[in-house]
Structure 1
């Protein structure tokens, strides 16, 4: 059993392409990215806060149950976490805490924004990846080509299962994920484990069915599309509950989501004012007359809150928009605008399979706005 890692750049963002058997691949990934993993799992504010939370008796009891369920129901993703911890020489408990942080109650103030809409004959999906500013230097694009598994590419926080941001898989599925702050998590597997296993799905209908049948302790909202499929789907999962809508059945041609529940009962989550502000902005969006990609970039990557939904760690908001993805699901084309860098366009299946050759810079009017705050 063996693995290899190739290193490329997607624009100016590091891009790792990992090939081989699951355990060897994640162990090597842990070794190669040990400095980044240690920065997040040993030295970050996030891990220190989580360790304090986990010491409370009620949280410790919930953590033990969610950990048990994650390991027993999703042994393959669990083995990936074990291998990564071994390779990076960090305590497994630290990586478990990072990956279960959204399954332990509503204290985490995590974010993201997603939207999907049809423009004439084309379908678009866009995702803002918002995270702690301290994570910015460590994020990479990651392509996994594991033996017997479909190729998958994600935006990756080292130390995390590659599942909680934006996903592209070999079957042409694409989804962005928004954190949902569940008020009372249930004793089920962690949401990162559910989302990682979901990446083997072959169709939109399979994604819908699996999220219906595979509950998670915490909550995620998924905005899902597939290259060549005519509709986008939004799915909310929260503490064993589930709901979905689509551009086909909802009567809405534009779907958006921030970090609170829109479809499930509101008592299941705890909405932050930041999420509500972005929701008010998103609720004013209408399908653009022309230039849908530039319009997405303007709303998500360029215009700060409340004019748009870009986050800049301003006021009491500790998060920043780390990257924006705009996906043309009809043309199988992806634009990636990482914070502080020029946008890059790439053919979707080259991104999915770890082939950097088709990428090209993409200029847009206000690209300098991304460079204003790091």
Structure 2
């Protein structure tokens, strides 16, 4: 029996119906893993009913009302009030109080290693990704496959109660997205990065996705790894609240959890030792030719560790994804663990 089951969930219809299905599917995980967590309790104590949270909601409704409607559906499926679920979805846009434990602070600032590997000849471009998160969510996440009434079909890894998009996913327009957490200290009132990431799943081209990330009304931001099937272009986009730097990828590279662009040298950011270690190790392994044996040769490293196995902190790798991006299709696979490869796989044809 798998120690990290990843159920496959299908949803379709309008925004509320999709959200409701996803909420129902993740309800047990949300109740058992999120609601009682110190992270959620700290958020609720400081931010529930606050004017700042209301400002984030107003910005989201003005910019992307359909995705707010999805959150309303998720809340109904979870059998929770909207504010509870919106608060959870804005957790990265809100500062934690100083009295939370070091473990909670560490997990809140954790997250993910990505590889971007350009196409050679007629071969595919590749994006591969370790999705890291709180150990409580190991075995509680979903792979969701969505056919909306509006926009392209899309699929995404989903953590309980969270609007999909902030992990890894793809759509039938041929777009792939993986996300790396970053923690610059530039939070501001605006549109939650969860909602921005969800908007990328509806983008019909790489350039459209980049335009979304250039919005100047973002409350916080991520590092986004993007790939486009039709052109096999890859892009690394650093998009904290205070700026956006786009880099098209011509040679293989790795990304951990801190901003690297010169443009952000003056921006104060919190950088965990794990991020520095994973970045250094992945860069070295790529330079030594490890990718000749596949992306997993880097992402499953348990010495550094790049693969989060509990050796160095309280976070875990929740899943590993590999996307092969061809001109007419995306072939994808999701590993539940190094010993549980290809737990899920499929091909999405580009429409």
TM-score range, shorter chain: 0.7 to 0.9
| Alpha-carbon distance in 1 for matches of 2:303, 2:236 | 23
| Alpha-carbon distance in 2 for matches of 1:223, 1:159 | 23
Cα RMSD over matched residues?
Answer: 2.6
Q: In the TM superposition, what is the alpha-carbon distance from 1:72 to its structure 2 partner?
A: 2.3
CA contact (8 A) 2:119 2:232 kept: no
* DSSP 3-state at the match of 1:90: coil
1:312 equivalent among 301, 309, 313 = 309
Partner residue in 1 for 2:14: 21
Partner residue in 2 for 1:282: 282
Partner residue in 2 for 1:327: 323
Matched, 1:161 2:163: yes
CA contact (8 A) 1:234 1:245 kept: yes
Q: Closer, same or farther in 2 for the Cα pair 1:12/1:42, shift >3 Å? A: closer
Q: In the TM superposition, what is the alpha-carbon distance from 1:52 to its structure 2 partner?
A: 3.7
CA contact (8 A) 2:71 2:85 kept: yes
| Alpha-carbon distance in 1 for matches of 2:340, 2:24 | 30
Moved over 6 A (4+): none
Q: In the TM superposition, what is the alpha-carbon distance from 1:228 to its structure 2 partner?
A: 3.8
- Deviation track 1:303-357 (CA, whole Å, cap 9, x = no partner) reads 1251x51112234x2111111111111373222111375211633217x99xxxx
Matched, 1:75 2:65: yes
* DSSP 3-state at the match of 2:62: helix
Partner residue in 1 for 2:101: none
CA contact (8 A) 1:50 1:101 kept: yes
Q: Closer, same or farther in 2 for the Cα pair 1:42/1:229, shift >3 Å? A: same
1:52-201 aligned at under 5 Å gives the runs 52-54=45-47, 60-105=50-95, 108-118=108-118, 120-121=120-121, 122=123, 123-201=125-203
Q: Closer, same or farther in 2 for the Cα pair 1:340/1:305, shift >3 Å? A: closer
What are structure 2's unaligned runs of at least 5 residues? 97-104
- Deviation track 1:113-144 (CA, whole Å, cap 9, x = no partner) reads 11101363332111110011100121010011
Matched, 1:44 2:34: no
- How many residues are treated as equivalent by the alignment? 332
Q: In the TM superposition, what is the alpha-carbon distance from 1:34 to its structure 2 partner?
A: 2.2
Q: In the TM superposition, what is the alpha-carbon distance from 1:17 to its structure 2 partner?
A: 0.9
